[in-house]
Amino acid sequence: MESLPEAPRRLVDERGAPHFGAFAGRVYDTSLRPLAGRFHRSGLARLASEKRWFYACVGSPSLVLAASVVDLGYAAGGFFYVFDRRERRMLVDRTIKLAVVGLDDNAAETRATLRGVRTRFLLEASRLGGRLVVSLPGHVLAELVLRPEGAPEPLTAICPVAGDRVTMTQKSSCVPAAGEIRVGPSTYRLQDGFASLDYSHGYLLRQTRWRWASGCGRLDDGRLFGINLVEGHNSGPVTENALWIAGRLAPLGRARFEHSPQAPLSAWRLSTEDGRVDLRFDPEGVRRESFDYRLFA
């Protein structure tokens, strides 16, 4: 399989230019402030376009849960949900539209926090370990341990965006995870799980749309398998499409998603133009979210 070069320690080089490309490994400094020339943003232009988030999704044979901390610059929030795969129903589904968040410029040693009314999120991940802690009203508490030291190298993609903008993402896959979730009087234990992690930071267009697929687990022969596919964003000369198999990371061609937006529970097909991926699957559930901060026209 084709391999990727080692990730730079910083998103921006000493001349103020982005390190465009797809890489294996972690970026320790994702700050956009050193960008120079046509990539530089300041004042209102920066406030309106700079976005960053950290997202963690953990799956097991019985449960899927996900948490995010999102900093939009002019607003911040997040979400948390737990899906019961056996009963095919949501146990928890919360969106926090306004909160105080903390998320720094270090993708390699990420610490993301969210504080709202009786609401706390803590998401941490580094090369040596990590954790996910979520506390919500209604006696909802999730505590999971992540073990990135047992996972393959993450993918880092630093990509050009239309309008002289820059975005980066660091995707980690096949991260061993375990813990428990308490919802009211019920306790759900998650064992033998795997996490997918997404740290992203960049200057995004006002209208940004994309389709994203991320998954990981074990193949029938016991090997670890992970995949990340995106269509519509970061799909120019540099993509974040990649495959992890047996601990090795390999890039993939541009992705194509075939599905019915009007019937999201119908069959989906995902493929890549290099012919290495052709997946068909039937969704187990659907989650929707839509809101408008109405701060920028």
Supply 259's token pair: 């599905």
Q: How far apart are CA 228 and CA 251, in angstroms?
A: 10
pLDDT of residue 297: 47
pLDDT of residue 236: 76
pLDDT of residue 78: 97
- 11 Rama class: left (phi>0) / alpha (psi -120 to 50) / beta: alpha
List all residues 6 or more positions away from 222 whose beta carbon is below 8 Å from its beta carbon: none
pLDDT of residue 71: 97
pLDDT of residue 118: 95
272 CA to centre of own chain: 20
* pTM, entire model: 0.95
The low-confidence residues of the chain, meaning pLDDT below 70, are 1, 235, 293-297
Supply 223's token pair: 């090997």
Q: How far apart are CA 58 and CA 218, in angstroms?
A: 14
Summarised one tens digit per residue, pLDDT across range 175-234 is: 999 999 999 999 999 999 999 999 999 999 888 888 999 999 999 999 999 999 999 887
Supply 169's token pair: 């993402």
The one-character DSSP state at 7 is: P
Burial annotation 47-70 (CB, 10 A radius, 16+ → b, else e)? ebbbbbbbbbbbbbebbbbbbbbb
Q: Which residues pair with 132 in a beta bridge?
A: 123, 144
Specify whether the CB–CB gap between 139 and 161 falls below 8 A. no
Architecture of domain 21-33+49-207 in this structure:
Beta Barrel (2.40)
pLDDT of residue 294: 64
Which residue blocks in the chain are alpha helix, DSSP H?
Answer: 43-49
Q: How far apart are CA 279 and CA 227, in angstroms?
A: 11
CA-nearest of 128, 130, 95, 129 to 114 is 95
